[in-house]
Amino acid sequence: MSETLHQNEDVEILASEDPGVGLPGRVKLPGYSRTMGPQTHLFAERDRLQGLRWQHFDVQQLSPTVGAELIGLDLTQELPQQVIDEIQQALWDYKVIFFRDQPITSEQHVSFASRFGELEIHPFLPPNTETPELVRFEKNDKAGGYENQWHHDVTWRKTPSRGAILRAVEVPPVGGDTLFVDAHAAYGGLDQETKDLIDDLVATHDFFRAFARLVPDEKKEEIREQYPIVEHPVVINHYQTGKPLLYVNRIFVTGIKGWEEERSFALLDLLCREFEVLEYSCRFKWEPNSIAFWDNQAVQHYATSDYSPQRRVMERASIKGSQPARG
């Protein structure tokens, strides 16, 4: 008998099996609103994705329902249409896909992105000077990262982008990862009472929440006319798969239509916290010439801001989308 065991002989061990045996799925922490336990609503999608097979590339999943690296493709070459079609299907299935070691030029970046639809120009972010279709995020000791909040891109547009392709130009030695979260899993994690409450609600979205300081006072009226406050359902159906998706974020949403402010933000904060459940997300560690291609309806993303004052330079092409809808 070991000395340690001898010293603890007076401890009565009450457990004969794992404490999880017999618990009914997720349980609430006493006194708190959050729950703990297995996310059983993910299991069917997890099993479906694990059964997929692909003709033109191999796949390494990053998490059970969201995120996969596509292996065996060379994006410096013009790909046949059947390969593009299979990449598109992989995007619909995994919601965000990644490519490593792709030393493409800005022109090749635009050319590849254009295979999936018409590209949009962002009015409030600086472009690559030679390629206006590419937004350039250049972080350094003078410009910190302020994208560290879960969000879908440009929901202040009447027709937010369908997808985005982000390329790492320069990455810090440590930090600067991007996380992606499954908006269908977030919706599925809500209790039925909350789903019933939000299924017919509409949220208002406004670019002013994030970009007002970039607009000169004398142009505010003109820009407001060009980009008015828009309304999108709190829950939308994916334009391709039809899956219900939670579609609110803290960056651009100004409230729930018809609700007073305090009640609006209480509900919005509750919904946005659902995106913070780790089981719904994957995390991507960037390397030079890495690429992420995400479905801007199916996922939200979060760029960690833990590398300042080191440099992080990324370029993004965004693909025009359609107006989000419910049903």
* Residues annotated catalytic, as ranges: 151, 153, 301, 316
Q: Which of 159, 166, 254 is nearest to 207 (CA)?
A: 254
Q: Which of 293, 96, 53 is nearest to 184 (CA)?
A: 96
Cβ–Cβ < 8 Å for 231, 257: yes
Q: Left, alpha or beta for 301 (phi > 0: left; psi -120 to 50: alpha)? A: beta
Beta-strand runs (E) in 29-182: 35-36, 58-61, 68-71, 96-99, 127-128, 131-139, 163-170, 178-182
Output phi, psi for 52, to 5 deg: -75, 145
Decide: residue 235, CB within 10 A, 0-12 exposed, 13-18 middle, 19+ buried. Answer: buried
Pairing of strands 96-99, 68-71: parallel
Tell me the H-state helices in 95-141.
106-114
Q: Which two tokens stand for residue 118?
A: 């018409």
